[in-house]
Amino acid sequence: MTIQVGDTLPDGTLYEYYDAPEGACVVGPNAFSVSELVKGRKLVIFAVPGAFTPGCSKTHLPGFIRLADAIKAKGVADILCVAVNDAFVMGAWGREQGAGGKVRLLGDGSATWTTALGLDLDLVSKGLGVRSQRYALIAEDGVVRHLAIDVAGKIEASTAEAILELL
């Protein structure tokens, strides 16, 4: 069942890659509990089917990067981008896109959290495995206040512009 407006986000673990200081050994990505990320905060969370894919790289993520300051000026503590990719891929994509300090890119490599939301997308027949539907949500203290899920192949309801208008 797909999460709905008024529901509490399920807990889960998302992973964020970090650049280690010069000379330091990178042990692995940082793990974050969703319940801790959302506790007492207003967040915008959006998901893409995959890092480095055309629509995600040319339209979806760049819109949130471009409008990050305006979104945060509306009381949003953080903008989180989630994809069913590992944290290393998300980190590389974030660096390529210039997301640092604007949008946090978090990996849900096994689609565990995405599936708990009911927003998983089966692309096995296309060789892409299980991915996430394209969506954006506004959550306050872990409760979904708005949810926009795009029709497959479209980037409309979940754009940064659409979310900014709702804030």
First to last CA, the chain: 26
pLDDT at 24: 60
Question: What's the rounded Cα separation, in Å, for the pair 110 and 130?
Answer: 8
Which is nearest to 79 in space by CA: 112, 118, 48, 120?
Answer: 48
Say if residue 27's pLDDT is above 70.
no
pLDDT given for residue 29 in this prediction:
84
Report pLDDT for 60: 94
Q: Are 79 and 44 in contact (CB under 8 A)?
A: yes
Q: Is the pLDDT of residue 25 over 70?
A: no
pLDDT score for 38: 96
Please tell me the predicted confidence (pLDDT) of residue 153. Answer: 86
Average pLDDT over residues 5-26: 82
Q: What is the pLDDT of residues 108-166, one digit of tens each?
A: 999 999 999 999 998 878 877 788 999 999 999 999 999 999 998 899 999 999 999 99
CB of 85 within 8 A of CB of 47?
no
How do residues 46-85 score in pLDDT, each as one tens digit? 999 999 988 888 999 999 999 999 999 999 999 999 999 9
- Residue 44's pLDDT is what? 98
pLDDT of 42 strictly over 90? yes
How far are the Cα atoms of 12, 49, 65, 167 from residue 85, in angstroms, in the given order? 15, 9, 19, 28
Contact 104/80 with Cβ under 8 angstroms?
yes
- In sign, the C-alpha dihedral spanning 88, 130, 32, 141 is positive
List alpha helices for 9-159, DSSP H.
34-38, 54-55, 61-66, 68-72, 87-97, 112-117
Task: Give me the pLDDT at residue 124, please.
Answer: 78
- Interatomic CA distance for residues 132 and 3, integer angstroms: 13
Catalytic residues: 56
What are the structural domains of the chain?
Answer: 13-18+28-166 (3.40.30.10)
